[in-house]
C-alpha cells in the first residue's frame, strides 16, 4: 500500500516546527521548494507564503488516511450500498468488520477517520493563526484564504460530528506545555457546540469567499461562496432547521444540472456547472492525486485494474432497476461484460460482480494514484436538500417539482407521490440513487431513521438503535483522555 507523503510537519505538538513552502501555481501541489522555520515569518510574508498555508489543508484531502481506505469503509462498505468486495480472504484490515457491522472502539478505520480530520483541522488552525500576520501579502487574497480555511475546517468538523457526535473543539494551534490546550484536545464538547462552531465558520466563510467564476486556471475548484452556502444548507438539514436550510439553498446560484449523468464523473466533468465542491486529484504519483482512491475500488482479478473493495450491493442495483433508472444505474455500477465509456471492456473473469463506476479512472488504470476527483457537493443535492426541507415545512407542492428536476435529468418519470409522507420517502430514495458512492448514504440512513430497516434488508445486519447512530471514539483517544472524554453509548 504505497502512500505519498504530504511534506508538512504538524504543529499540534510543536511550538516551533519546520515546514516547507510551496511556490507552485497548482493549488493542491505541496511539493517543497524551500525549507524554513515558522519563527521566520518573513519568508512566508508574501502571496505565495499565505497561499501555502491553505494549500496544505487541501493537500490533506489527498491523503490515504483522509480520503481512501478508511473513509471508503466507514461511509460505503458499512452501508447497504456496498459490500466489502475484494477476495473472501482479504479482510482489508477491518473492512469485513465494517461490512458486518461488528464495529468496536479498536476498529482501525475509526482511528484513521478521527486522526486525519484533526490533522486537517490543525492545518486550518495554522492558516488562521499565521495568515493575518503576513502583512506583505495582498489583503484581498488574505481575506479569501481565511474564508477557505474556515470552510475547510467546517467541512472536517461536519464529518466528525456526523461520525462521532460530540468531539474535542480544537479552535486554535495548541501550545506545547499549555495545560489548557492539552485539555482542549482531550475533552469532548456537545454535538450542539460543534454544530454552532461549524455554522459560525461557514457564515464567516460566506463573507470572505468569492463566486466560483472568479477562479481561473489552477485555482478552479477552490472553495467558493456557493460551496459555503450549500454546505451550510446541508448542516442545517442535519439539524432539522428546515427554513434555514431552504434559505441557504436559495443563495446557491449560478449552477445547473449536467445533462448526461455519467458526464459528471469523467475528467471532462470535473468542476463543471453542477459541481459545487470537490476534492481535486491531478493524476499520477506526483503528490497531487487522491492516494489510491481508484485503485482500492477498481475491478479485481483477471482483466481488472484494482483491489475490488466497496462493491455495489445487489440491493442497490435492484433499487435502480425497480425505478427504471438504468441511466444512473449504469453510470454508478460497473458489471462484468460491460463496455465502459472509454471503450474498456470488463471481462467475465473479474472477481466481483459489481464495482464502483464513480471511482473509475479512464487514463490511469495502471497507476496507484489517479486523476479521479471526489464530488462532495453538487447542485442536484442542493435541489434535494431544498425539496426535503420544504416538504418538512408542509410545502409539499413546492417540493415535488424540485424532486422531479433530478428525476427528469435521469430520464425517469416524475414522482407519483403527493402526500407529505410519500414525498418524504421519495426524496430519501432519490438521494440514494442520485448520490450513491458519494459518501453520504450511511449518514443519510442514520439521520432519517432508516438504518435499522435498511441494514436488516442488507443481509440481516443488526443495527442497534441507541448505539450504531454514532461510531465509537478510538480507544487510544479514550485512554489518553483519562476521563476527560467518555465513550459513545454501547461501546
| 173-197 pLDDT per residue, tens | 999 899 999 999 999 999 999 999 9
Residues of the chain with pLDDT > 90: what percent? 87
Q: Is the pLDDT of residue 33 over 80?
A: no
| 353 inside domain | yes
| 337 inside domain | yes
| Mean pLDDT across 316-339 | 98
Number of structural domains in the chain: 1
User: pLDDT class for 288, splitting at 50, 70, 90?
Assistant: confident
User: pLDDT class for 14, splitting at 50, 70, 90?
Assistant: very low
Q: Are 83 and 99 in contact (CB under 8 A)?
A: yes
Residue 288, CB-side half-sphere exposure with 13 Å CA sphere: 17
Given this model, what pLDDT does residue 285 score? 53
Picking from 475, 479, 354, the residue whose alpha carbon sits closest to that of residue 111 is 475
Instruction: Name residue 278's beta-bridge partners.
Output: 375
Is pLDDT larger for residue 221 or for residue 368?
221
| Mean pLDDT across 427-444 | 98
| 456 inside domain | no
Q: Which three-class secondary structure string do you get for the chain? A: CCCCCCCCCCCCCCCCCEEEECCCCCCCCCCCCEEEECCCHHHHCCHHHHHHHHHHHHHHCCCHHHHCHHHHHHHHHCCCCEEEECCCCCCCCCHHHHHHCCCCCCCHHHHHHHHHHHHHHHHHHHHHHHHHHCCCCCHHHHHHHHHHHHHHHHHHHHHHHHHHCCCECCCCCCCCCCHHHHHHHHCECCHHHHHHHHHHHHHHHHHHCCCHHHCCHHHCCCCCHHHHHHHHHHHHHHCCCHHHHHHHHCCCCCCCCCCCHHHHHCHHHCCCCCEEEEECCCCCCCCCCECCHHHHHCCCECCCCCCCEEEECHHHHHHHHHCCCHHHHHHHEEECCEECCCCCEECCCECCCEEEHHHCCCCCCCCCCECCCEEEEEHHHHHHHHHHHHHHCCCHHHHHHHHHHHHHHCCCCCCCCCCHHHHHHHHHHHHHHHHCCCCCHHHHHHHCCCHHHHHHHCCCCCCCCCCCCCCCCCHHHHHHHCCCCCCCCCC
Q: Is the pLDDT of residue 29 over 80?
A: no
Q: Are 8 and 20 in contact (CB under 8 A)?
A: yes
| Mean pLDDT across 204-212 | 98
**Mean pLDDT score of the chain, rounded to an integer?**
91
Given this model, what pLDDT does residue 151 score? 98
Picking from 231, 113, 130, the residue whose alpha carbon sits closest to that of residue 172 is 130
Count of Cβ atoms closer than 10 Å to residue 8 Cβ: 24
| 346 inside domain | yes
Q: Are 370 and 281 in contact (CB under 8 A)?
A: yes
Phi–psi pair at 443, nearest 5 degrees: -65, -35
**Of the given ranges (17-31, 72-86, 169-183, 445-459), which has the lowest mean pLDDT?**
17-31
Q: Is the pLDDT of residue 401 over 90?
A: yes
| 325 inside domain | yes
Given this model, what pLDDT does residue 457 score? 98
Q: Are 14 and 39 in contact (CB under 8 A)?
A: no
| Mean pLDDT across 28-45 | 53
Given this model, what pLDDT does residue 284 score? 58
How many angstroms separate the CA atoms of 428 and 367, rounded? 36
Given this model, what pLDDT does residue 31 score? 29
| 358 inside domain | yes
**Cell representation of residue 325:** 433508472
Q: Is the pLDDT of residue 313 over 70?
A: yes
Given this model, what pLDDT does residue 289 score? 87
User: pLDDT class for 217, splitting at 50, 70, 90?
Assistant: very high
Q: Are 308 and 299 in contact (CB under 8 A)?
A: yes
| Mean pLDDT across 96-109 | 98
| Sign of the torsion angle spanned by Cα atoms 242, 244, 248, 251 | positive
Phi–psi pair at 338, nearest 5 degrees: -115, 140
Given this model, what pLDDT does residue 287 score? 62
The pTM of this model reads 0.92
Q: Are 290 and 375 in contact (CB under 8 A)?
A: no
Given this model, what pLDDT does residue 38 score? 55
| Mean pLDDT across 47-52 | 96
Distances (CA, A) of 254 to 94, 211, 223, 224, 279: 42, 9, 15, 12, 20
| Sign of the torsion angle spanned by Cα atoms 363, 371, 407, 321 | positive
Q: Which domain holds residue 334?
A: 293-372
| 338 inside domain | yes
**Of the given ranges (33-42, 204-213, 232-241, 404-413), which has the lowest mean pLDDT?**
33-42
**Of the given ranges (209-213, 261-265, 280-284, 403-407), which has the lowest mean pLDDT?**
280-284
| 321 inside domain | yes
**Of the given ranges (23-27, 225-229, 341-345), which has the lowest mean pLDDT?**
23-27
Amino acid at each position: 500500500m504505497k502512500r505519498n507523503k504530504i511534506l508538512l510537519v504538524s504543529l499540534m505538538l510543536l511550538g516551533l516546527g519546520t515546514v516547507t513552502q510551496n511556490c507552485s501555481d497548482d493549488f493542491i501541489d505541496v511539493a517543497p521548494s524551500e525549507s524554513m522555520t515558522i519563527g521566520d515569518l518573513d519568508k512566508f510574508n508574501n502571496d505565495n507564503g499565505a497561499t501555502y498555508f491553505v494549500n496544505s489543508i487541501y493537500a490533506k484531502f489527498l491523503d490515504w488516511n483522509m480520503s481512501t481506505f478508511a473513509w471508503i469503509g466507514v461511509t460505503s462498505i458499512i452501508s447497504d450500498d456496498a459490500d466489502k468486495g475484494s477476495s473472501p480472504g482479504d479482510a482489508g484490515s477491518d473492512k469485513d468488520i465494517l461490512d458486518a457491522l461488528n464495529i468496536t472502539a479498536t476498529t482501525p478505520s475509526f482511528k484513521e477517520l478521527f486522526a486525519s480530520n484533526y490533522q486537517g483541522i490543525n492545518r486550518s488552525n495554522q492558516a488562521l493563526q499565521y495568515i493575518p500576520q503576513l502583512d506583505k501579502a495582498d489583503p484581498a487574497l488574505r481575506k479569501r484564504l481565511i474564508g477557505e480555511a474556515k470552510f475547510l475546517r467546517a467541512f472536517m468538523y461536519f464529518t466528525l460530528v456526523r461520525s462521532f457526535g460530540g468531539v474535542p473543539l480544537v479552535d486554535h494551534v495548541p501550545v506545547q506545555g499549555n495545560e489548557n490546550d492539552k485539555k482542549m484536545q482531550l475533552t469532548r464538547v456537545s454535538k450542539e457546540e460543534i454544530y454552532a462552531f461549524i455554522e459560525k465558520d461557514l457564515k464567516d466563510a460566506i463573507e470572505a469567499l468569492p463566486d466560483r467564476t472568479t477562479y481561473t486556471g489552477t485555482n478552479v475548484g477552490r472553495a467558493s461562496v456557493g460551496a459555503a452556502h450549500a454546505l451550510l444548507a446541508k448542516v442545517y438539514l442535519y439539524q432539522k432547521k428546515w427554513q434555514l436550510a431552504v434559505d441557504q439553498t436559495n443563495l446557491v446560484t449560478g449552477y445547473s444540472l449536467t445533462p448526461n449523468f455519467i458526464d459528471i464523473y469523467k475528467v471532462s466533468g470535473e468542476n463543471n456547472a453542477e459541481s459545487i465542491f470537490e476534492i481535486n486529484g491531478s493524476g499520477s504519483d506526483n503528490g497531487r492525486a487522491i492516494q489510491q482512491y481508484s485503485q482500492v475500488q477498481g475491478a479485481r482479478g483477471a482483466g481488472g485494474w484494482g483491489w475490488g473493495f466497496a462493491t455495489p450491493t445487489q440491493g442497490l442495483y435492484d433499487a435502480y432497476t425497480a425505478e427504471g433508472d438504468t441511466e444512473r444505474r449504469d453510470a454508478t455500477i460497473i458489471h462484468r461484460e460491460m463496455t465502459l465509456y472509454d471503450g474498456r471492456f470488463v471481462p467475465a473473469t473479474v472477481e466481483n460482480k459489481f464495482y464502483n463506476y464513480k471511482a473509475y479512472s479512464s487514463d490511469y488504470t495502471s497507476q496507484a494514484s489517479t486523476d479521479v476527483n471526489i464530488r462532495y457537493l453538487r447542485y442536484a443535492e442542493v435541489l434535494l436538500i431544498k425539496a426535503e426541507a420544504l416538504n418538512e415545512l408542509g410545502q409539499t407542492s413546492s417540493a415535488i417539482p424540485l424532486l422531479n428536476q433530478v428525476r427528469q435529468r435521469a430520464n425517469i418519470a416524475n414522482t407519483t407521490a403527493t402526500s407529505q409522507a410519500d414525498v418524504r420517502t421519495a426524496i430519501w430514495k432519490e438521494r440514494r440513487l442520485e448520490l450513491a458512492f458519494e459518501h453520504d448514504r450511511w449518514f443519510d440512513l442514520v439521520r432519517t431513521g432508516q438504518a435499522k430497516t435498511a441494514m436488516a434488508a442488507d443481509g440481516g445486519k443488526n443495527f442497534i438503535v441507541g448505539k450504531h447512530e454514532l461510531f465509537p471514539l478510538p480507544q487510544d483517544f479514550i485512554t489518553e483522555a483519562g476521563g476527560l472524554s467518555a465513550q459513545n453509548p454501547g461501546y
